[in-house]
Amino acid sequence: MPLHDTNYQHWDGTHLGLWQRRLTIARNGLTACLQIKGMRHIVVVCWIGGLAMTATLFLVGQLLVADSIVVQWVGNLNPQLQNFAHTFTTWLEQHPEVSVRTTQDVLFYYFGTLLLPISIFALGMVLPVLITRDLASNAIIIYASKAVSRGDYLLGKFSTAFGLLVLTWLGPVCTAWFVGNLLAPDWRFFWHSRLALFHTLLFGVSSMAILSVLALGVSALSSKEKATPAFWFMWWIIGGVIAPIAMQTKPWLRHVSFNYNLDQIALKVFRLGDDLQIAKENVPIFGSMLSNIRAETMTALNSPPFSGAMIGLLLMAVLAAIVVNKRAKPE
Amino acid sequence: MVVAGRSSCLTPATLPGTLAEMSGAPVIETQNLSKVFGPQRALDGVSLTVSPGAIGLLGPNGAGKSTFMKCLLQLQPITSGSAKLLGREVGREGREIRKRVGYTPEQDCHIPGMAGCEYVTYCAQLCGLPFQAARQRAHEMLDFVGMGQERYRKADTYSTGMKQRLKLAQAIVHDPEIVFLDEPTNGLDPKGQAQILELVQSLWKKYGITVVLSSHLLHDVDRICEQIIIIARGRVLVHDTLENLKSRKRGAAEVVVATGHETLQAACRQRQWGCELLPNGHMKVEHHSESLNPLLGLLDELKLPPLELIPSPNALEETFVQALEISHAPA
């Protein structure tokens, strides 16, 4: 028996604003994403990666202190490594603004591109939660009949995908940057690594936005819950297979892979070629290591096909937007 | 009284209870509202002014009832013409309109994986209610529609009756001024139908919420609605009060008598009244009079006390059939 009056009662409270309604859609979507089997494990793996990145940054920071335990430990492991550490320390001491930025740029590039496939995988798993289920269950009609527009609905769903990527990608990376620099021996590390953070945010946010739009597009392709993840993974895998093959025959074809395009944008944003060049010039031991890298690899690092990658991704995003516009509405 | 399209032959007498006399500003106003799907005109120049109340939207399947409601709620874009809902222009103030409107679609529309109470809470939040208020109101509305502990179960597992109740709860959770109900008794057993209709009826009679009930079941509409809109082939054929429609068909009544069926038939024949025995044992008498007095006089004369007397028993059905015949007649 209910504890209160079961008659209908009018409500005269104050309505929340539009952004809070959009946030409700995003929050609800994200909750549904995290309820998917295995999704929480993926998020934990990504944050363990963030912890590893923090540890790496801590170790690099300790190299600045000449008699630190880390340098001694490295020396005990291998005298050559101790030489390397000393050279590195000297460089860090002499040009901290360049050395910290370059080191963290390289580390964040590798860490970011390591988490990217995990994030793409996670996104593939949650595709049904985005639009597919709403199409299958007609819930899209309910959204359309409430005080939110179609744009609000899509913005909410976009935020769901974006939020998930923050959890699996940008969150761990940015936390690693913050905690890693907090543990560094010098507060100036924060300032010197600002460009590395900027590059991370620029690449991370733009890639996440594009991936979120692509995910919405694929999610709206079908109302069958198994079909949309299948499309996503097929596109990812086939694109990944085509890209290296197309490099030799029809170079434009490699841009069908969104993963390849994102890699090229990462190279352009982080300017990895420049960073390696700086490291080569300042740390002699690096110079000898990097001299073994093939000329084509260095060319690829220095001048990635950025325009092609951007055009490819923009075309994909436009295509996804068309699919969403056509499909994500009440019939 | 509004008679649209080719229904001019249905001109009623001017009687009390006409639409013009009904109080309140119009809740629905449309001017030449049209909706075209490819070669098919789903709505063809619908012009209506509807006052608050319990409004029955009648028509055969495919008549345009759902399309009319969807156009008003902006679930479908209007092809031409204009519409106002609650005094606001449809198409310009969508969110504001939908904040004050509730809607139960014909088909299932729950969000998979969500429990009933979570779903109704979420729907309230989409209309701008803060979470605490949304949750409290969701429980109140679920009590109101008669749902017990099953509200904590996932909506996917609900029976048809429970789903209908859930749909009604989500439609009224934000305390709308008008509720559109699309075939709310579909798939329900007679008891379930009666319960839902009782709830719907109370929305207007007790709580002042205008109800637009779309149905092809005349009995549902006859039971709870005061105004009737008959739509066929995308045109409004009749818009009038139920009282007026019934008054058009005065002159016929159903009589239930325990004995003396033959005597009554013979007496009616003498007076040149139509009389037939219906399969349910009732006698249908066409007495050609606005008043029941001549019929009562006859029954008294024959010493046949009526067990039940139903004036204008099939008025709505006959008007409906007549309207459909008109709509199907060649142009």
User: What CATH number is given to the structural domain containing B283?
Assistant: 3.30.70
pLDDT surpassing 50 at residue A194: yes
Task: Judge if B131 and B110 occupy the same domain.
Answer: yes
Q: Is the minimum CB–CB distance between B193 and chain A shorter than 8 Å?
A: no
Query: In percent, how much of chain A has pLDDT > 70?
Result: 93
Q: Please give the DSSP secondary-structure letter assigned to residue A176.
A: H
Of B95, B101, B108, the CB nearest to A149: B95
**pLDDT tens digits, B137-170:** 999 999 999 888 999 999 999 998 899 999 999 9
Q: What band does A283 get if pLDDT is binned at 50, 70 and 90?
A: low
Q: What band does A287 get if pLDDT is binned at 50, 70 and 90?
A: low
Predicted pLDDT at B13: 32
Answer yes or no: do B113 and A9 touch at CB < 8 A: no
Q: What band does B213 get if pLDDT is binned at 50, 70 and 90?
A: very high
| Chain B residues 132-151 within an 8 A CB cutoff of chain A | 133, 137, 139-141, 143-144
Domain of residue B259, residue span: 250-313
Answer yes or no: do B122 and A133 touch at CB < 8 A: no
Cβ neighbours of residue B300 closer than 8 Å, sequence gap 6 or more: none
Task: Judge if B229 and B273 occupy the same domain.
Answer: no
> Is residue B105 in some structural domain?
yes
Work out the average pLDDT over A285-290.
66
- Give the CATH number of the domain where residue B76 resides: 3.40.50.300
Of B102, B108, B175, the CB nearest to A137: B108
Predicted pLDDT at B1: 36
Task: Judge if B38 and B159 occupy the same domain.
Answer: yes
pLDDT surpassing 60 at residue A177: yes
Of B113, B202, B207, the CB nearest to A32: B113
Domain C-terminal end among B191, B216, B247: B247
**pLDDT tens digits, B239-291:** 888 888 777 666 788 888 888 888 888 898 888 888 888 888 888 888 877 78
Tally Cβ neighbours within 10 Å of residue A66.
12
Which residue out of A145, A152, A223, A331 would a mutagenesis test of the B interface target, given it has the greatest number of B Cβ atoms within 10 Å? A145
Predicted pLDDT at A262: 92
Do residues B34 and B80 touch, judged by C-beta distance below 8 A?
yes
Task: Judge if B125 and B231 occupy the same domain.
Answer: yes
Q: Is the minimum CB–CB distance between B129 and chain A shorter than 8 Å?
A: yes
**pLDDT tens digits, A53-102:** 999 888 887 776 666 777 777 777 777 777 777 777 777 777 776 777 78
Q: Give the three-state DSSP class for B43.
A: strand
Residue A3 corresponds to which tokens in the numbers above? 């504890």
**pLDDT tens digits, B166-204:** 999 999 999 999 999 998 888 788 888 888 898 999 999
Task: Tell me chain A's radius of gyration from C-alpha atoms.
Answer: 24
**pLDDT tens digits, B78-101:** 999 999 999 899 888 888 888 899
pLDDT surpassing 80 at residue B311: no
Task: Judge if B184 and B285 occupy the same domain.
Answer: no
Answer yes or no: do A147 and B99 touch at CB < 8 A: yes
> Is residue B297 in some structural domain?
yes
Q: What is the DSSP string of B65-129?
A: HHHHHHHHTTSS--SEEEEEETTEETTTSHHHHHHTEEEE-SS--PPTT-BHHHHHHHHHHHTT-
Predicted pLDDT at A86: 73
> Is residue B326 in some structural domain?
no
Task: Judge if B211 and B297 occupy the same domain.
Answer: no
Helices (H), chain B: 65-72, 94-99, 116-126, 131-144, 160-172, 190-205, 218-224, 242-248, 261-270, 293-301, 315-328
What are the C-alpha distances in Å from A101 to residues A195, A205, B147, B258? 6, 20, 62, 101
Beta bridge partner(s), residue A179: none
Tell the residue number behind the tokens 């999704």, with chain if given: A39
- Residue of chain B minimizing CA distance to A134: B111
Domain C-terminal end among B206, B222, B247: B247
Work out the average pLDDT over B296-303.
88
**pLDDT tens digits, A102-139:** 888 888 998 988 899 999 999 999 999 999 999 999 89
Q: What band does A5 get if pLDDT is binned at 50, 70 and 90?
A: low
Chain A residues in contact with B112 (beta carbon < 8 A): 133, 136-137, 139
- Residue of chain A minimizing CA distance to B92: A149
State the nearest Cα–Cα gap between A208 and chain B, in angstroms: 26
Answer yes or no: do B111 and A11 touch at CB < 8 A: no
> Is residue B327 in some structural domain?
no
pLDDT surpassing 70 at residue B7: no
Calculate the average pLDDT of chain A: 86
> Is residue B324 in some structural domain?
no
Calculate the average pLDDT of chain B: 84
> Is residue B322 in some structural domain?
no
Domain C-terminal end among B247, B281, B304: B247
Of B99, B112, B141, the CB nearest to A137: B112
Q: What is the DSSP string of A212-272?
A: HHHHHHHHHH-S-TTHHHHHHHHHHHHHHHHHHHHHHS-GGGGGG-HHHHHHHHHHHHHTH
Predicted pLDDT at A64: 67
**pLDDT tens digits, A245-274:** 877 777 788 888 898 899 989 988 888 777
Q: What band does B238 get if pLDDT is binned at 50, 70 and 90?
A: confident
Task: Judge if B131 and B256 occupy the same domain.
Answer: no
What are the C-alpha distances in Å from B261 to residues B58, B264, B269, B276? 35, 5, 12, 9
Does pTM surpass 0.90? no
| Separation of first and last alpha carbons in chain B | 24
> Is residue B22 in some structural domain?
yes
pLDDT surpassing 60 at residue B15: no
Task: Judge if B18 and B124 occupy the same domain.
Answer: yes
> Is residue B263 in some structural domain?
yes
Chain A: which residues have CB within 8 Å of chain B?
Answer: 2, 4-13, 15-18, 20-21, 24-25, 28, 32, 35, 133-134, 136-139, 141-149, 152, 330
CA–CA dist B326, B331 (Å, integer): 10
- Residue of chain B minimizing CA distance to A11: B175
Beta bridge partner(s), residue B29: B49, B84
Which residue out of A39, A142, A149, A157 would a mutagenesis test of the B interface target, given it has the greatest number of B Cβ atoms within 10 Å? A142
Task: Judge if B218 and B292 occupy the same domain.
Answer: no
Cβ neighbours of residue A268 closer than 8 Å, sequence gap 6 or more: A304, A306, A309
Answer yes or no: do A147 and B75 touch at CB < 8 A: no
Tell the residue number behind the tokens 């609605």, with chain if given: B225
pLDDT surpassing 90 at residue B123: yes
State the nearest Cα–Cα gap between A167 and chain B, in angstroms: 22
Task: Judge if B157 and B289 occupy the same domain.
Answer: no
Q: Give the three-state DSSP class for A89.
A: helix
Predicted pLDDT at B12: 32
Predicted ipTM > 0.95: no
Task: Judge if B30 and B123 occupy the same domain.
Answer: yes
State the nearest Cα–Cα gap between A13 and chain B, in angstroms: 8
Lowest mean pLDDT among A21-30, A90-99, A132-141, B30-39: A90-99
Count: domains in chain B: 2
Task: Judge if B121 and B211 occupy the same domain.
Answer: yes
Answer yes or no: do B126 and A148 touch at CB < 8 A: yes
